[in-house]
Every structure is written in structure tokens, then in C-alpha cells.
Amino acid sequence: MKTLLLLLLLASPGAYAQQIPASTEGRTIIEREIACPVCGTQFYTKLNAGSASYDQRLDLKPVGDVNGPWLLPECPKCGFVIFKAGLTKAELARCKAAVALDDYKKALKRSSYYRAGLLYEQLEKPPFSVAMNFLKASWQEEHDPVFLKEDQELALRYFSDAVKAAKAQNEDLQNAQLMRGELMRRLGKFGPAKEHFRALLGQPGFKKNFLGDIAAFQVKLCEKEDAQPHVFQEVRDFTKPPHVRLWILTKKFFADLAAIFAK
């Protein structure tokens, strides 16, 4: 799990990102007045504070009490998404130019992380960081099939670039590889996704560990042509001995039945 926890910390851009911990408390929301670094407008914004406890889907979206990515402040006037506190002069100049672009103006109705992705593209951030923004945009926009597909395709493209650009076997590379496969499966590209996860299972970093369990679980999902989101708890259940898995399935069956009768 060390790698995945680390991924969580790496997953979020900006100053607020490092505050995603895994503890037993709920995530608290606070309100703060801040100033937009691009246009100077002062506005109140909601921010996350404190800790959170949740399971995650295989695309890293938190589920349970916390149901989305870390909040990012959005300027109500120019639409700039404040992805980081303390922008350098050079970054600020490029952000001002990015916000003035037609593509950005057209995206004002899109999610905060989609716009953060556009800003990261303009700032020429590493592909892994750009990919994480579009991945989070896909969590925010999953109610809209067109936006969701676009976000997932963009995230897939940048995770693929991150894999190509990797110079050594490290955690970023492993995480980018897992997300590549997950996104291919979610986009219904079952053949390539299955081939991808099978190839991962042959790599040393995916042997006899949780990453390998994820890859093996993903192979099964691809064989079933399952494009739905799934959670890590299912991977943990999947690796349990058969009699324990049967007991879990039985418990789930009766829980579902009780829920149906309760309606």
C-alpha cells in the first residue's frame, strides 16, 4: 500500500494537495477570503481542512463521506483556478496569458480540475501532473458522458506520455502504468487494457504485492468487459481465499436484498 498512499500525496496539485492524509477523521470544509493572483478580485472560497478517511476507486476517486477531489478556489471574475499558492513571476505571467485564451474562456463552465489541466498544459508541467488534473476532472464530470470521455482520454494520453518519458522504474511510473490500464478499461478498450495488465504482471514491480493484485483483478474485469468503476476493497477481497470470498459475496447478497426490501 505504500506506493498507493504515496500516489495519493502526489496526486493533487498545489498547496492544498499535501493535506490529503489517510486518517480516521472526516474531511472538514472551511471558508476563506482570498485574492485571485491573476485579476486581483477578492472572493470567499471553500477549502478543505483536516483529515479524511475513505476507500478509493481504482481511478483513485475517494468514495464514502468524501466524494471528490480536494477543492480548488475558482475566481468568480476571470475563472482562474488557484492550483497553487505563491506562483512565481514567470508562472503568473503564463497563467495570465492562459486565462486570456479562447480555449480557457470556453472552458469556464467546465470543472475546476479540467481548467487546472489546461493551465498545467500551458505551464508545460510534467505529463504525470497534467494527467492527474484531467483524471480528477473525470471524477467531477462523470455525470456528463461527453465530458467524462474527454477527461478520461486526456488523462490516458498524458499518463501514456508519462510512461514514455520515464527514465527508470519508480513509483510514478508504476502508478502511471496502473492508471493507463484503468482508463483504457473504463473507456471500453478491453483488449488493449487486458494486454497491458498482463504485461505489467510480468514486471518485477508487480510481483507478489498489492500492485500485482490490482493488475490481476483488472485482468478479470477486462475479461468480463466491465467498464464500471470499482474500489480497492474489491481487490483486497479478491485476494482472499475462496471460502472467504464466498462469505463476502453471501453477505453482500443479503445486504443488497435487505436494501431492496427497505425501499
Return the biggest CA–CA distance within the chain.
61
Residue 72 found at the interface with Zn ion (CB under 5 A): no
**C-beta of 41 vs 67, nearer to Zn ion:** 41
CA neighbor of 11 nearest in space, from 60, 65, 63, 84: 60
What is the spatial distance between Cα 241 and Cα 236, in angstroms, rounded to a whole number?
11
Residue 36 found at the interface with Zn ion (CB under 5 A): yes
**C-beta of 109 vs 263, nearer to Zn ion:** 109
Min CB(121)–Zn ion separation in Å: 19
**C-beta of 11 vs 36, nearer to Zn ion:** 36
Q: For residue 112, give every residue at least 6 positions away whose Cβ sits within 8 Å of its Cβ, in sequence order, or none.
A: 71, 72, 74, 81, 140
Residue 78 found at the interface with Zn ion (CB under 5 A): yes
Ramachandran angles phi, psi of 129, nearest 5°: -70, -40
Residue 7 found at the interface with Zn ion (CB under 5 A): no
CA neighbor of 18 nearest in space, from 6, 31, 30: 6
Min CB(87)–Zn ion separation in Å: 12
- The three-class DSSP label of residue 28 is strand
Min CB(147)–Zn ion separation in Å: 23
Residue 75 found at the interface with Zn ion (CB under 5 A): yes
Min CB(2)–Zn ion separation in Å: 39
Q: Which of 8, 22, 34, 39 binds Zn ion (CB under 5 A)?
A: 39
Residue 63 β-bridge partners: 55
Distances (CA, A) of 147 to 56, 79, 138, 212, 229: 21, 18, 7, 31, 16
**C-beta of 107 vs 166, nearer to Zn ion:** 107
Candidate ranges 37-45, 200-208, 209-217, 230-238; the one touching Zn ion (CB under 5 A):
37-45
**C-beta of 78 vs 211, nearer to Zn ion:** 78
**C-beta of 38 vs 72, nearer to Zn ion:** 38
Cα dihedral 186, 190, 195, 197 sign: positive
DSSP state for residue 25 in the 8-state scheme: S
What is the spatial distance between Cα 62 and Cα 220, in angstroms, rounded to a whole number?
23
Residue 95 found at the interface with Zn ion (CB under 5 A): no
- Residue that the C-alpha cell 453477505 belongs to: 251
**C-beta of 47 vs 201, nearer to Zn ion:** 47
Q: Which of 7, 38, 66, 132 binds Zn ion (CB under 5 A)?
A: 38
Q: Which of 80, 113, 147, 232 binds Zn ion (CB under 5 A)?
A: 80
Candidate ranges 77-85, 101-109, 113-121, 199-207; the one touching Zn ion (CB under 5 A):
77-85
Ramachandran angles phi, psi of 78, nearest 5°: -100, -10
Contacts with Zn ion by CB under 5 A lie at 36, 38-39, 41, 75, 77-78, 80
